Amino acid sequence: MFSFFKKKSPPPAPAAPAAAPPDAFPGTPAATPAAVPSAVSPAAQPRAPALPAGPSMIGSALVTPIAIPEPAAAAASPPERQRWLSKLQAGLRKTGSSISTVFTGGQIDEQLYEDLETALLMADTGVKATEHLLADVKRRVKDGGMTHPVAVKNALVESLALLLKPLEKALVIGEFKPTVIMVAGVNGAGKTTSIGKLTAHLASEGATVLLAAADTFRAAAKEQLAVWADRNTVEIVSQEGGDPAAVSFDAVSAGKARGRDVVLVDTAGRLPTQLHLMEELRKMKRVIGKIEIERTVEPSSSPAGAVEPALPGHRRSAPSGGSAVREATSVGAAPPPHEVLLVIDGNTGQNALSQVKAFDDALQLTGLIVTKLDGTAKGGVLAAIALWARERQAVKPDLKPVPVYFIGVGEKLEDLETFNAREFAQALLA
């Protein structure tokens, strides 16, 4: 797999202008200084060529992004991504087959639209999202003068990809030091495993990670997280029977004092109907928020020479000597957690949307991780989530959007990848 995290790297300090030679005439500009090592000025280096796909997904906070050219076609995706897409298509094959049977007729009529509506509802798309997609497909068919059912399927792919497009976004690491990520979800959704996978890829890229074992309720939760910490040789903060908020506070304080790049906070699984447990999550967020974390990069700034990568959310990085972060000056503070991620099980259907709404009301979510799409998951719930996210953004524009950062199709390390709207639409309707 390859890098899928956007990196926020502080801009390099401007180099002091070289003094003009003694025999320079007045008004003559000073000679350009010779190239200096990357540890002094990373921006002065020549741009490195695009790197081939590697085994990791996450870049280090101690590196500077470089330009990656857009591929000529989707077929240019690395073999690792192609294998992952094949596994995603296999997991969603049942849904794709039931929807594809709608387009086997010879004409476009009302019966086709009725069958399509039924197929979308059976795929857990939900009533509102189904109505939205049908209206958009009918408009495309009318405007395009389509006459064959296969063209309707292509129109549906475009409509679904357009609806899911706002969910595409890269998770930014490096804007804060440390970047504090709080992970929540119901029991058995895959929170601890997802944290372990993210930790593995972060550590493989050289980022320093600290884990907070704030799930003090489930038996062996701390031990499970400790196994991931040992595998990746990262630090873990835990307490025997301690208060989750206290464990989280200690971990974030330790991450700040030790200069770690990322602090991942694991939480106990809970149902959104358990109000006292949801209040415990709010308490954890409030307690963590009492710690000031300095911002090292302006949120609107982008590294010089950086362009959008081949796939949304993916960015290649090249070493820059590591001096950029150490020399960065503070440009403000922001209370953690900087990201609040909800892990949802793709097999739960429309209940996943209810979970997203409930956890968002309690924590103001900033991103999602959808797991277990390799089983009996129907996948259509992402359309419902996308429509809800659009409505939420219209009502509360001051809140961060809720993108889908990652989707998982298995238990292996490489089975967690970034979300791409068009890829997902094509896999769902294959």
The share of the chain scoring above pLDDT 90, in percent, equals 40
d(CA 66, CA 362): 38
- Specify the pLDDT at position 298: 61
Chain-centroid distance of CA 100 in Å reads 30
- Specify the pLDDT at position 379: 86
- Specify the pLDDT at position 69: 39
Highest averaged pLDDT of the listed ranges 33-42, 84-93, 283-292, 409-418: 283-292
Contacts of 278 (CB under 8 A, 6+ apart): 270, 272, 358, 359, 362
- Specify the pLDDT at position 297: 67
Give the single-character DSSP code of 145.
T
Average pLDDT on 170-184 reads 91
Look at residue 295 and tell me whether its pLDDT is greater than 80. Answer: yes
d(CA 226, CA 322): 28
Among 5, 157, 1, 161, which residue's Cα sits nearest to residue 84? Answer: 1
Identify which has the larger pLDDT, 70 or 358: 358
- Specify the pLDDT at position 299: 58
Cβ proximity of 120 and 380 under 8 Å: yes
- Specify the pLDDT at position 36: 38
- Specify the pLDDT at position 275: 85
- Specify the pLDDT at position 315: 40
Look at residue 266 and tell me whether its pLDDT is greater than 70. Answer: yes
- Specify the pLDDT at position 64: 34
d(CA 231, CA 196): 9
- Specify the pLDDT at position 5: 62
- Specify the pLDDT at position 241: 75
Average pLDDT on 246-263 reads 94
190 torsion bin: left (phi>0), alpha (psi -120 to 50), beta (else): left
- Residue 8 banded pLDDT, cuts 50, 70, 90: low
- Specify the pLDDT at position 332: 63
In one letter, which amino acid is 302? S
Look at residue 11 and tell me whether its pLDDT is greater than 50. Answer: yes
d(CA 145, CA 151): 10
